[in-house]
Amino acid sequence: MGTKIKNMNRLKVTLSGITLANPIIPASGTYGFGDEFAELYDINCLGGISFKGTTREARYGNPLPRIAECGNYGMINAVGLQNPGVEHVIAHELPRLKSHYNGCIVANVSGFSVQDYVETCALLDKEPIDILEVNISCPNVHNGGMAFGTSPEAAAEVTAAVKAVTTKPVYMKLSPNVTDIVAIAKACEAAGADGLCLINTVFGMRIDIRRRRPVIANRYGGYSGSGIFPLALRMVNQVACATSLPIIGCGGVSSAEDVIEMMMAGATAVEIGAANLTNPMVAKEIIDRLPALMEELKIEKLTDIIGIVNHE
């Protein structure tokens, strides 16, 4: 028992004063509200859960088909933020999640205007969630459809507006579909963000060569999976070197080794996304594997390696 507790303590990390038993967080959109996974294993082993992206109003999402497989390297999706809306989430999904999970709950929020973000975050601020993860990869309906996360000014505007209506830590989820992600990150930091989450999916496309048309009805979608891991790692490291904010790293993570790399690049916690869809046990398997890997790499505790490559 003593060895087990020691191993558990070695895995602990802290995000904005919130202690996580370990750095592993299933990413929004790949874990729903935890119900299906709770049937497979005790999800209380997780450091946190980022639940399904939530908007002010219910959304059906994009037309079908929405998914395109990309061999062993990942998938493209254009689900379109299908969700039951924040009031339904508060009334039904959140209480159910709390009934079988007692760790860190991350509420992923999306919007199509600054007011959308403000209203949704203000409602969630009153609920038993720990962190607001604000997804600024959504199209700004007042700016020609450009995503909030592609402009430092727009990213800062959303950050400041959300911070004004909430007492929860606000982590801005950044889009990789930009020329300079560091500029976006620094704008969010200057506007008061408590932390950052990166990266979101990369724009991608597949074509059905027999039907001679795009596989996805939406034509383009978000590419995720192991193929984007080096890109995500590079961006996490760039942002870690340029800001002082805690980072939740994500993008193509599918193994304990990937988690260690992400943390060495500068991430404090790590989200597991597309890998959950191909192996629903992957988050638990990574957590179980970490202590042995740490022994192999002579890592006393995970907090010792956060951003370690930046101190060379």
- pLDDT tens for 5-42 read 566 789 999 999 999 999 999 999 999 999 999 999 99
The two three-digit tokens of residue 273, written as one number: 């996304």
Answer whether residue 288 is part of any domain: yes
Which has more pLDDT, 117 or 7? 117
* pTM: predicted TM-score of the whole model, two decimal places: 0.96
Answer whether residue 178 is part of any domain: yes
Answer whether residue 310 is part of any domain: no
Instruction: Spell out the alpha helix ranges (H) of 21-103.
Output: 35-38, 86-88, 94-100
Residue 213's domain spans which residues?
2-305
Write down the pLDDT at residue 85.
97
CA dihedral (199, 203, 208, 214) positive or negative: positive
Answer whether residue 72 is part of any domain: yes
Answer whether residue 312 is part of any domain: no
Q: How confident is residue 229, by pLDDT bands cut at 50, 70 and 90?
A: very high
Taking 60 as the threshold, does the pLDDT of residue 191 lie above it? yes
Write down the pLDDT at residue 137.
87
Answer whether residue 151 is part of any domain: yes
Q: Give CA separation, 215 vs 30, 61, 73, 122, 220, in Å.
A: 21, 17, 17, 38, 9
Mean pLDDT within 177-191:
97
Residue 263 DSSP symbol: H
Mean pLDDT within 108-112:
95
Answer whether residue 311 is part of any domain: no
Q: How many residues does the chain have?
A: 312
Mean pLDDT within 220-249:
97
Is 138 catalytic? The answer is yes
Answer whether residue 253 is part of any domain: yes
Distance CA 55, CA 153 (A): 22
Write down the pLDDT at residue 201.
93
Write down the pLDDT at residue 1.
45
Mean pLDDT within 249-276:
98
CA angle 305, 308, 312 (to 5 degrees): 155
Residue 47 is part of a domain; what is its CATH number?
3.20.20.70
Q: How confident is residue 147, by pLDDT bands cut at 50, 70 and 90?
A: confident
Total domain count for the chain? Answer: 1
Active-site choice (104, 121, 138, 250): 138
